[in-house]
Amino acid sequence: MKKTLGILGGMGPLATADLYRKIVLLTRADSDNEHIRVYIDGNARIPDRTAAILSGGADPMPEMRSSLRHLELCGADCIIMPCNTAHYYLPRLQAETEIPFISMLTETAKTCARAHPGETACILATRGTLASGLYENALSKEGVSFFLPGEGQRDVLMYAIYDCVKGGRPLDAAREPMKGLLRDLRAKGADYFVLGCTELPIAVRELALEGPFVDSTVELAKAAIRFCGYEVNE
Contact between 171 and 230 (Cβ < 8 Å) = no
Provide the annotated active-site residues: 83, 197
Contact between 87 and 11 (Cβ < 8 Å) = no
Contact between 42 and 71 (Cβ < 8 Å) = no
d(CA 97, CA 64): 12
